[in-house]
Structure 1
Amino acid sequence: MTHPNSDIKSAVVSAAASSWSDPAAQALERIATALEKLIPAPPPPVDFDAADAFVWHAATASLQPVKQVNRVEMALLRGIDRLRDLLTDNTERFAKGFAANNALLWGARGMGKSSLVKAAHADINARLKGTPAFLPLKLVEIHREDIDSLPALMGLMREVPYRFLIFCDDLSFDAEDTSYKSLKAVLEGGIEGRPPNVLFYATSNRRHILARQMIDNERSSAINPGEAVEEKVSLSDRFGLWLGFHSCSQEDYLAMISGYVEHLGLEIERDQLEREALEWAITRGARSGRTAWQYIQDLAGRLGRAT
């Protein structure tokens, strides 16, 4: 690919060579070459056929294909049946070209928020594969620190025939961070708006994404506290679908454990399994899907098995 400034460089050097001495023209060429190296080359075109999942790298404005997504099968996500159905239905409507909402999955840590997003993506593609005119839904992960580059990422997708699910895990903003304003504009209200083939899913431990002290500080220091607070919490209003995840019960926790044991074919007495699993949760101070999986990792290792 020809560098965008190579024609300019040639024209400048040619003009100089016709009017200056050879040493001057050579010096000018060296300067032009050095300046050219400081200008980054344009990113290569994206091959969206390379994979069904990508990671966005803002520094190079490029999408890295992910051949194997790190995910849990939908059948292994226990205790979140209603949330699973709501997100899957929303995702399927979008994949089929119908109206759908941006989704915010918020709440207790380790309860399967990001796992559900990845599982829903895989489940939709598997079930709709072979449907006439269906193109695979693409999952694109954007890191929290790259949110400012979201408009550039959406620009790459605007004229592409595929439909994209942009996913940001553990989205939150601290007191000095103002990039949430650009996210608000991109999701709803910007002059271009969100492309019709793009949907945004985010997970967060915070219901309103912003830190609680940010909201409290506005109440205590703003001239009009009500308006200041509204301006900050309105970010979460850009998500039409809110899914709240809460700490699981002991029954759901043990159901997760049993599901993993059955799926992996681990052999252990039920009484021993429940006793060890509950003790594991007590030592961690929490019952969650993540805690259940960590116990299964330990159990499989003790049984000489890989997961």
Structure 2
Amino acid sequence: MTNTKEAGTVLSVLSPDGTALSVERMGTGPSLVLVDGAFCGRTFGPARALANELKDAFTVYFYDRRGRGDSGETMPYATEREIEDLQAVLNEAGGSPYVYGISSGAALALEAAAAGVPMRRLATYEAPYTGVQGADGTPGSHREHLEALLRDGKRGSAVSYFLVKMVGAPAFLPYLLRLMPGVWKKQTAAANTLPYEARVTNDFVAPLERLRQVTVPTLVMVGGKAAAPMAAGQKAIAGAIPSSEHRILDGQTHQVSAAAIAAQLRDFFTSGT
């Protein structure tokens, strides 16, 4: 998941609560802000590779969400603070930029759009609204368990719980990741932010009533190899957002290729100009 592609200019952007956010900028053209998913940031995850794919057509901004990488963290946490963070990055980008979010970053971008944060156009890939439910049929609540593990200093266990019990990854995946020290170190370093993801994603259940308030033109994407709950979730949110388009990317998984996403973003963002 790490990469060594070209770096851009690193900026420090202040959120309204005083949290300093580490933001990177590269390229030229209309502004585009990338919003990462769980664990990921400027130096770990898909954003840098995607920014390098798009820098010839857009001025791309990507950032460490609060509590990760070089960004600060002001407590207590609230989803509203993350929406304010994104608004601050959008302000730095100027005007009403294009926005792309992946996984929980897609959920954050959707919540921001529903809250009225100005965006030119919004594209999302596999917001994790997979309909996780408790035994009684109500939305599952994992945040308390994650917080208990973190209080006990069990960061690795928190990562494993998030990946297997919440995301639905195979049980062997955490063991495999432990064999990749660089990756595992990055994930455990961001373990403190996992309870935040439970809040941002509405416990992995699509907030359809709020999504109906999204007015920005929105592209909702899903990989052709997505599991049934993920595919159903993307169809549901596309159906809820009034000005939306739903696309299936053949052959893609949750680890979507930068080239595949870049092609979709170029098409969607330039079609409205």
TM score, norm. by length of structure 2: 0.31
Bigger fraction of residues in strand: 2
Bigger fraction of residues in helix: 1
Larger radius of gyration: 1
TM score, norm. by length of structure 1: 0.29
